[in-house]
Amino acid sequence: MSEQATAGEGAAESRKTVKCVVWDLDNTLWDGVLLEDGEVALRPAVVEVLRTLDERGILHSIASRNDPELAMERLQRFGIAEYFLHPQIHWGSKSGSVAAIAAALNIGLDAIAFVDDQPFEREEVAFSHPLVRCFDATELDRLADHPELQPRFITDDSRQRRAMYMADVVRKQLEDTHQGSPNEFLASLQMNFVIGPALDEDLARAEELTVRTNQLNATGYTYSYEELREFQRSPGHDLLIASLEDKYGTYGKIGLALVERGEQAWTIKLLLMSCRVMSRGVGSVLLNSIIRRAKAAGVRLFAEFVETSRNRTMNVTYRFAGFRPAEQRGGVTLLENDFSVVPNFPDYMRITIRD
């Protein structure tokens, strides 16, 4: 069983799948130029490609220089408007639109693919965002065949991903208009956070989490389905998975931890949390549950941390939970918690811990 980590982003880079495809409209999603031709027609393969990628858990958005009201009306007439999250339809640059979409979805630019019929637009996006994968609209028929658009597993979370993001939009709108403290808003969501051992049916999603999650992955390690199954069955390891739901629906399985249990000490080898729940304060909840279990078992508790360009938040999470540097092993910082302070669980959510 190997931790596939290297300096920087780690081995996840070579396995990273696209999380969102950003589409141009004129002569890309449809044939014709809307403001010039008046009537445009969807390209024949579009609906099938949208549906196929959506079922794989890959989101869609739009970056188009167009009249926003007219373009959205046409998308609704074609019956495909619901596929597109945070569409950017205006007269600004495509690179600016791509950046805005990544920010709205809280994903990295390296998880974005951009489709446009114009070489200039593709080059403008590629120049500004070298990590974005750019595709010519002539490749539409073959787009879904690209490896980075074919996740190894399609899980229940994958199939529900667009719906979960749409629910997040509703939550954000409510949060922006909420009168009261942030904790009062979180309490109003009636969240239930569930932590327990990963079951067989969780392993595909567990692998997906290690491959897709980069901002909130404390080590950048990725594990295959087979490696995770070995850890799940190992008497010397705990593979824990966490899920979250609230009154607006499920967030899905959004957290994963791997704990190596020795007789005298436990080591957290992996701690990650989906970026979609960054504002919910749940990363510390999963960590605090491990701290409490280790203290009750009478063992020392360590955690591995590998700094990447995007996971500073996880370092802060460890420090707030009482972890301090104990040892440096190459690029791995070994942190230790002395249990001098065991943080409380937040009172704005219900915590369910199953054995």
Q: What confidence tens digit (pLDDT) does each residue in 310-325 have?
A: 788 888 889 999 999 9
> In this structure, are 124 and 216 located in the same domain?
no
pLDDT in tens, 218-274: 998 889 999 999 999 999 999 999 999 999 999 999 999 999 999 999 999 999 988
Q: Which residues contact 63 (CB under 8 A, 6 or more apart)?
A: 22, 23, 24, 88, 94, 97, 98, 101, 114, 116
Q: Are both 87 and 171 inside the same structural domain?
A: no
Tokens 């739901």: give the residue.
Answer: 245
The predicted-structure confidence for 17-46, as pLDDT tens digits, reads as follows: 899 999 999 999 999 999 998 899 999 999
At residue 6 the predicted structure's pLDDT band, cuts being 50, 70 and 90, is: very low
Alpha-carbon gap, residue 148 to 211, rounded angstroms: 12
In a domain, 2, yes or no: no
Q: Could you tell me if residue 340 is inside a domain?
A: yes
* 166/296 same-domain check: yes
Residue 324 token pair: 């301090």
191 and 230 fall within a common domain: yes
Question: Do 192 and 326 reside in the same domain of the chain?
Answer: yes
CATH assignment at residue 267: 3.40.630.30
Q: Which two tokens stand for residue 252?
A: 């899905």
Residue 145 lies in a domain: yes
Nearest to 147 by CA among 182, 113, 178: 113
Across 320-336, average pLDDT: 93
Q: How many domains does the chain have?
A: 2
CATH number, residue 120: 3.40.50.1000
Domain that holds residue 269: 156-353
Q: For the range 134-142, what are the long-range contacts, defined as Cβ-Cβ under 8 Å and sequence gap of 24 or more?
A: 137/24, 137/27, 137/28, 139/115, 140/28, 140/43, 140/45, 140/46, 140/49, 140/115, 141/45
| 295 within domain boundaries | yes
Rounded mean pLDDT of the chain?
Answer: 91
Last residue of a domain, one of 130, 149, 168: 149
Dist. CA 231–CA 252, nearest whole Å: 22
